[in-house]
Each structure stands twice: as C-alpha cells, then as structure tokens.
Amino acid sequence: MLLQTVFLAFFGLAAIWFAVVVFRTSSMVRSALALLFSQAAIGTMFLAMQTEFLGVLQIMMMATEMAIMAIFMVMYMMDPGGLSGMDMTHQKRVSIAAGVLGTAVAVGTALLVDWGPIAGVPRPGAQVHDLGIELMERSMLIFETAGVTILTAMVATTAIAIGPRGPRGGVDD
C-alpha cells in the first residue's frame, strides 16, 4: 500500500506538472508534448492502481491522439514555435479564480466525504475477462451507442471540414 501511494503521488505530480506546462510554454509543439506526457502519467497512475487494461489503453490512445494534435497545432497556429512571444490568453483573473475554486471544491469533497473501507482488487486477467462480459452483457447498449456516436461524429466532422460547395459558393469555388 505504501509503495502504491508513493507511485501514485509521483506520477500524479508529474501529470499535474506537465498539465501546467501545457499552458505555460509558448511553443505549441512543446505544449502538445507536455499534454502527451501528462496523459501518459495519468495512464501510469492507472497502472499503479492495478488497472492494467485501462492504463495501457490510455497510454496508447493518448500517444496517437497527441501526435495528431501536434500536427494540427503547427498547421493552424499563427506562431507555432512561440518565437514572437504572442500572448494568446484572455480573462486571466476570472480563469485563475475559476480554476482555484474548482480545485478547492473538488479537494474539499474528496477530504470531507467518508468513502468507506478500501476493497481488494481482482487479478488483471480476471479484470479483462469481467470487463469483456460487462461490455457484452449489461452495458451492451451503452457500448453500441458509443460506436454509433463515433460513426456519427466521423461523418459530421468530415462534412464540417470539407466546407460548402456548389451554387451557394464556397472557398474552393
């Protein structure tokens, strides 16, 4: 339990540190890499909590997702290298106040609630088996709905990204 707490604290601090770096650095590539490291640290926290399947899934998903994000950032940002020192923030005081308030409420809830006793954890193989059964039985409808939602989002995203064409006029016309 002590070792688990130490690992959780270490990777938790790493996740927080890299999440802060995301909004502190002016280089967009560094920003994307910091988010990748933050999400990877969260995945490692999952592993420290003996949730192997979700931990590996998180690290793999975020590695690809952030690589794609870095490409989009370089494409769309006016100053991707951050060399001109542009300030791309607004309403700083309100944002800091909201962030601090959100953290305080969440920390207060975490510390004040009596969560009950700590339970033991199933073996990794049993976890994957039982999660598969959960997905294919009780949560089947949710699982299927997620699949349909992904398909809908893919079609909608492509339609938005292509833009208007034809007699109404579009960018390419």
User: Segment 30-49, which members bind other proteins (CB under 8 A)?
Assistant: 31-32, 35, 38-39, 42, 45-46, 49
Contact call for residue 25 and other proteins (CB under 8 A): no
What's the closest the beta carbon of residue 80 comes to other proteins, in angstroms? Answer: 10
* Token pair in block for residue 163: 């833009």
10-41: burial string, b at 16+ Cβ within 10 Å, e else: ebeebbeebbebbeeebbbbbbbbbbbbbbbb
- 136 is a contact residue toward other proteins (CB under 8 A): no
Q: In the set 160, 166, 167, 169, which binds other proteins (CB under 8 A)?
A: 160
Q: Which residues, 67 to 106, sit near other proteins by CB under 8 A?
A: 68-69, 72-73, 75-78, 88-92, 94-96, 98-100, 102-104, 106
Q: Mark out the alpha helices in 115-139 (DSSP H runs).
A: 124-136
Question: Nearest distance from residue 35's CB to other proteins, in Å?
Answer: 5
C-alpha to C-alpha distance for 86 and 82, rounded to whole angstroms: 7
HSE, side-chain direction, 13 A CA sphere, residue 90: 0
**Out of 8, 26, 27, 29, which residue is the one contacting other proteins (CB under 8 A)?**
8
d(CA 33, CA 55): 19
What residues numbered 137-156 form the site for other proteins, per CB under 8 A?
Answer: 139, 142-143, 146, 149-150, 153-154, 156
Number of residues that bind other proteins (CB under 8 A): 87
* Residue 119 backbone phi and psi in degrees, to 5: -100, 160
* Minimum CB distance to other proteins, residue 81 (Å): 14
Query: What whole-number distance in Å separates Cα of residue 37 and Cα of residue 25?
Result: 14
Q: Is 51 in the site for other proteins (CB under 8 A)?
A: yes
